[in-house]
Structure 1
Amino acid sequence: MYDNIGPQTGVPRPPNTQPNPFGNSFYGASSGFIRGGLGAYGEKILGSSSEYVQSNISRYFSDPQYYFQVNDQYVKNKLKVVLFPFLHRGHWTRITEPVGGRLSYKPPIYDINAPDLYIPLMAFGTYVVLSGLSLGLHGKFSPEAVNWLFAKGVVGWTFQVTLLKMTLFSLGSGEAPLLDIVAYAGYTFTGLSLAILGKLFWRFTYYFMLPWTCLCMGIFLVKTMKRVLFAEVRTYDSSRHHYLLLFIALAQFPLLIWLGNISLNWLF
C-alpha cells in the first residue's frame, strides 16, 4: 500500500514493520544479561577496586585526624616515654579494637604506645624558635637564618623517616603507614629542644644533655621498631634484625649532633 505513494505527496515512508520472531526474545535476553550479568560483574570489579584502594590508602596513609586525638594526660605520659624510655615498665605493643569487622588501633588518647603528630609538630616548632633565639643571643639572628633552621630541621626529619622506612624495606616489609613513621621520627625534636634550652641557660649543660638525648632517642626507636613496626615484617632474621636496630640507635648520635649545632652552615 505504502509503496504506491509517490514522493510528491510528502508523506514519509514508514520503516519496514516485518515481524521478527527472534527480536523480542533476543532483546529481552540481552538486556537481562547486561543488567544482571555485566551489571553484577561491573559492581564486583568496582567494589573490589574501591576496597583495594581504600585498604592501600589506609595502609600507607592513615587518617591524619587519628594522630591528633590527644589530651594533657597523654602528652605528659608520652613525653616521659620518649625522654625516659628505660623507665617505661609497661608493654610497647599497641592496643587494637574491632571496628567495622576488622581490627584497628586505638587512638593516642587511649593508648600511650600509639604515635601522634601533635608532640612532634610542637617539638619541631620549639626547636626552630629556640634555635633562632640562640642565634639572636650571639648576634646572628635574621629572617633568613630562621628559614635556614626550618629547612635544616625538615631535612633532619626527612632523613630520620627515610632511615626507618628503608630499615623496614630491607627486612621485607614497608607496609607500615607513612604517618606512623613520620610521627616516630618526629619525636627526635623533643629531647633536642630540651638540650638547646639547657644550652641557653648554661653552655656546658648542652654537652651533657645532648648525649643523653641521643641515647634515649636510640632506646625509644629500638623499642618501638622492635615491638611495634617489626610486627608487620613477613621475614625474620635475628642477626640482621639486631644489626639494623643497633644501626638505628647509633645513627641518632650524628643526626642529633648535626641538628643541635645551631649555625648557618650545612656541616658545622
Structure 2
Amino acid sequence: MYDSLGAQTGLPRPPPNPQPNPFGNAFVGAGSGLIRGGLGAYGEKILGSSSEYVQSNISRYFSDPQYYFQVNDHYVRNKLKVVLFPFLHRGHWSRITEPVGGRLSYKPPIYDINAPDLYIPLMAFGTYVVLAGISLGLHGKFSPEALNWLFFKGLVGWFLQVSLLKMTLFSLGSGEAPLLDIVAYAGYTFTGMCIAVLGKITWSYSYYFLMPWTCLCIGVFLVKTMKRVLFVEVRSYDSSRHHYLLLFIALAQFPLFLWLCNISVNWLF
C-alpha cells in the first residue's frame, strides 16, 4: 500500500535500512590513519633529507651571493692595490674566520681585504666591454654586432679562467671551494685588462709595457691566492706537482691576455 501511495502521491520513498557493520568504520579509519601517518613520516623524512642535502651543497659550492657584494669604497681601493700591485702587499693572504651558528665562517669583504667579491670583477668586465667598444670606434670598426661579439668573447675568457682554476683544485684533490669564489678570483683578471686596453687607446706604445706588467701582476695575485686556498683545503698533495700547477696558472695568463686585449671581431686574432 505504501509503495502504491508513494508512487501515486509523488512522495519520496524512504531508503532501505542497511545492515550495520560495527567493525567496518573502525578498520577503515585505522587503516587510513596508518597510511596517512606512514606516508607523511616517510615523505617528511625524504623531503627533509633532500632539502638538507640541497642546502648543504648550495652553501658548499655556491655560497651566499649577497656575501660577495658587501663592499665599500675603502675595500675597493685596497683590493685594487692588492690585485694590481701584489708585490707591495705586506699583509697575510689568508682569510679571517669567525664563528657563526656553531661553525667557522669567513668574514665578508667589507671586513677582510683577502675575501673574494663579485663587485670588482663585474665592474671590471663591464669597463672592459666599454673600452673595447671605444677602441673599435676609434678604428672605425664599431657596430652593435661587434660589441656583442666582444661581450661574448669576454665571457668565454672568464669561463676559461674559471675552468683553469677549478681544474687545478680538482687535480690536487680539492674541488670543494665554492664556485662563486672561483668566479670572483677569475674575474679579477679584467682589472688588468682594462688598464692594458686603456693604455692602448691613449698611447699605443704604452700597451707593450702595460700588458706584460698587468699580466704578471694578475699571475702573481692568482698564485698567491691559490696557494692560500690550497694550503687551507688540501689535506695531502704532491709538493712538486703543486708548484708546477701554480706555475702553469701564472704562465696561462699571457695567452689569455693576448687574446682578450686584442680588440677585434675575429675569433683568434
Residue type of the partner of 2:33? S
Tell me the secondary structure at the aligned position of residue 97 of structure 1. Answer: strand
1:96-245 alignment runs, 5 A limit = 96-228=97-229, 231-245=232-246
User: What's the C-alpha RMSD, in Å, of the aligned pairs?
Assistant: 2.6
TM-score (norm 1): 0.87
The corresponding residue for 2:9 is none
**CA–CA distance in structure 1, aligned partners of residues 193 and 261 of structure 2:** 7
| Cα distance in 2 between the residues matched to 1:87 and 1:119 | 20
Q: Any idea what the Cα deviations from partners look like across 1:14-59, whole Å, max 9, x if unmatched?
A: 4432444x97599559837964x66445433322221111111111
Tell me what 1:31 maps to.
Answer: 33
- Comparing 10-19 with 25-34, greater Cα deviation is found at 25-34
Shift of 1:145: 2.0
Count of residues paired in the alignment: 262
Q: Write the letter of the residue equivalent to 1:254.
A: P
Q: Are 1:13 and 2:16 matched, yes or no?
A: yes
Q: Aligned letter for 1:44? A: K
Task: Assess if the C-alpha contact under 8 Å between 2:116 and 2:184 holds in 1.
Answer: yes
- Aligned to 1:122, the other structure's residue is in SS state helix
Gaps of 5+ in 1: none
Contact 1:168 1:230 in 2 (8 A): no
Percent identity (aligned): 79
Q: Shift in Å at residue 220 of structure 1?
A: 0.7
SS at match of 2:55: helix
1:50 aligned partner, one-letter code: S
Give the distance between the partners of 1:141 and 1:29, measured in 2 at CA: 75
Residue 13 of structure 1 aligns with an amino acid whose one-letter code is P
Report Cα offsets for 1:166-200 as digits up to 9, x if no partner. 11222223222211111110100101111111222
4+ long deviations beyond 6 Å: none
Instruction: Tell me how far 1:208 sits from its aligned partner.
Output: 0.9
Query: What is the CA-CA distance between 1:107 and the residue it aligns to?
Result: 1.2
TM-score by length of 2: 0.87
Which of 228-237 and 100-109 deviates more?
Answer: 228-237
- Distance of aligned partners of 1:136 and 1:27 in 2 relative to their CA distance in 1, 3 Å threshold: closer
Residue type at the aligned position of 1:68 = F
User: Aligned pair 1:52/2:53, yes or no?
Assistant: yes
> Structure 2 CA distance, aligned partners of 1:18 and 1:197?
90
